[in-house]
């Protein structure tokens, strides 16, 4: 009786784990789609490792726990349990190592958090820097992409709206370079971007 109850509890836990795996898989797909939608801004290949890992882990979790659920379900019947008897030890070992690898992977992702954030920050900064290059091949879509990103996330700039004060975001074709005020302002923006000048 206790064995049957234990098998039922483990069966339920396996199905909860399968649902968790589906959530991880879905989250990985969602992140992959979102990153691909903004690939103009996020050229760093390491960003793709996060959704790929989530997709892989989600699938493996589903497979392992589906097998575990099947084993637990069959354990209620003694005759069915006998055919799983030889598989139990390898299954437990595989599950242990997979769980260990998940813990290590989670720690790695946690340690990479700063690197990923820095990579995204640099990519967005470069995108803002090329915001004005609407006539340059390969950069002509950046303006629209950055605009949509800011509208969607209700943000302005990378760290804040003052980021736009430090770059030239208006295309040269709209500027009259013969006027001294325009040239002086562009010089201030350039010096600010390079760090030679700090805005108050």
Question: Whole-angstrom Cα distance, residue 161 to residue 193?
Answer: 14
Average pLDDT, the chain: 76
Least confident of 57-71, 76-90, 116-130, 155-169: 76-90
First to last CA, the chain: 75
Mean pLDDT value across residues 174-195: 60
Which pLDDT tens digit goes with each residue over 2-46? 667 777 787 888 888 888 889 889 988 998 888 887 776 765 556
Mean pLDDT value across residues 100-128: 77
Mean pLDDT value across residues 66-73: 82
Q: What is the pLDDT of residue 175?
A: 64
Which pLDDT tens digit goes with each residue over 133-169? 777 777 777 888 888 888 888 888 888 888 887 777 7
Question: Whole-angstrom Cα distance, residue 153 to residue 52?
Answer: 24
Q: What is the pLDDT of residue 196?
A: 44
Angle at 58 between CA 52 and CA 62, to 5 degrees: 150
Confidence tier at 200 by pLDDT (50, 70, 90): very low
Mean pLDDT value across residues 57-78: 82
Q: What is the pLDDT of residue 199?
A: 42
Q: pTM for this structure?
A: 0.66
Q: What is the pLDDT of residue 182?
A: 61
Question: Whole-angstrom Cα distance, residue 100 to residue 68?
Answer: 17
pLDDT at position 180 over 80: no
């Amino acid at each position: 009786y206790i064995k049957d109850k234990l098998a039922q509890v483990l069966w339920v836990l396996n199905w909860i784990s399968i649902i968790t795996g589906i959530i991880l898989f879905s989250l990985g797909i969602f992140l992959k789609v979102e990153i691909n939608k903004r690939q103009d801004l996020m050229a760093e290949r390491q960003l793709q490792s996060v959704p790929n890992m989530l997709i892989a882990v989600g699938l493996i979790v589903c497979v392992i726990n589906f097998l575990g659920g099947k084993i637990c379900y069959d354990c209620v019947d003694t005759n069915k349990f006998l055919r799983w008897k030889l598989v139990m030890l390898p299954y437990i070992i595989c599950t242990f190592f997979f769980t260990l690898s998940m813990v290590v992977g989670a720690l790695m992702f946690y340690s990479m958090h700063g690197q990923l954030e820095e990579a995204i920050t640099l990519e967005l900064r470069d995108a803002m820097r090329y915001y004005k290059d609407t006539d340059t091949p390969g950069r002509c879509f950046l303006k629209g992409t950055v605009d949509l990103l800011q509208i969607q996330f209700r943000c302005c700039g990378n760290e804040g709206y003052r980021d736009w004060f430090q770059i030239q975001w208006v295309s040269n074709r709209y500027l009259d370079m013969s006027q001294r005020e325009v040239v002086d302002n562009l010089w201030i923006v350039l010096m600010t971007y390079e760090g030679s000048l700090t805005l108050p």
